[in-house]
Amino acid sequence: MKCVRILVCRCGFAVVSAVLAIIVGCGRSDLPPLGTVSGTVTLNGQPLEGVTVMFQPVQGRPSLGQTDANGAYELRYMAGVKGAVVGKHRVEVFWPEDAGPGKPRIPERYNRQSELSFEVKPGRNKFDIKLTSP
């Protein structure tokens, strides 16, 4: 009887382990191909803290990031998923609505009427965004 109990426990553990390995190891099959994206945003050579960076692919959902005190950002495709869809993106840089007054103006050519674009490739991508304003 003791041998049967040990066998059931070991088999049960093996089955649970196999199921967990499949769930964790395979990743999310519902995601498109993604590349990680990071970089810095500067305006006239100075880092911009607290701006939103949005990469909008030709098709699909955008990826967003927010800059830190050094102007560094890292994009997220969705909660808990880093990156952006592989392919060409229109890029916008803008202040969040709650940014408050006193922030430097970001020219329209970098946000609503953005002329910025980048090609995201599989793997790691680094795009430093150097904005200029008069």
Count of beta carbons in the 10 Å neighbourhood of residue 63: 26
**Nearest partner of 133 among 66, 61, 41, judged by Cα:** 41
Comparing 22 with 73, the larger pLDDT belongs to: 73
Asked if the model's pLDDT at residue 22 lies above 90, the reply is no
Give the per-residue pLDDT at 15: 38
Chain-centroid distance of CA 3 in Å reads 51
* pTM of the complete model: 0.77
Give the per-residue pLDDT at 130: 97
Give the whole-angstrom CA distance, residue 44 versus residue 38: 20
Residues making up the chain, counted from first to last: 134
Average pLDDT, whole number, for the chain? 84
pLDDT for 69-123, tens place per residue?
A: 999 999 999 999 999 999 999 999 999 988 878 889 999 999 999 999 999 999 9
pLDDT class of 29 with cuts at 50, 70, 90: confident
Mean pLDDT of 40-65: 97
CA pseudo-torsion sign 116, 121, 122, 124? negative
Chain-centroid distance of CA 97 in Å reads 20
Give the per-residue pLDDT at 28: 62
Give the per-residue pLDDT at 27: 52
pLDDT class of 25 with cuts at 50, 70, 90: very low
User: Is there a contact between 87 and 122 (Cβ–Cβ < 8 Å)?
Assistant: no
Are β-strands 123-126 and 34-43 bridged in parallel, bridged antiparallel, or unpaired? parallel
